[in-house]
Structure 1
Amino acid sequence: YRTLQNQVRSYTESFKAIEVKFNAGVGNSVDYTVAKNKLDAANINLISARYDYILRMKILDYYQGKMTW
């Protein structure tokens, strides 16, 4: 999970840099699109990991008899 957080942070910084270049007319649309896609994929992976963790904790609670939902 922490690795995914670091990945999102890294791709966010990378995307911001490419976005500045693109808006200044220096970068091209391919680089912009690739950076945006990588950032979106990293965010999706982070969200998926977060919900997967919650689901697994609830399943564990269920089998331990600790129904807290």
Structure 2
Amino acid sequence: MTQAKDPLHGITLAAMLTELQAHYGWEGLAERIDIRCFKSEPSIKSSLTFLRRTPWAREKVETLFVRLRDGRG
């Protein structure tokens, strides 16, 4: 995949999470992605720590972000 076609190129995980949280709120994120860091005392910092260590969860966040940007979220 080339960088020009990669929808995530140049976008940090923090930026993705901030935009998703602003759009869906923590409750909406927890409904869409069933992970505890979105349900129990959620914060950007704790969520980033978890997502950076958990590839499957990060992939779900990236997929949701791409869907939101494409108008399918």
Q: TM-score, normalised by structure 1?
A: 0.35
Between structure 1 and structure 2, the one with the greater Rg is 1
- Structure with greater helix share of residues: 1
Q: TM-score, normalised by structure 2?
A: 0.33
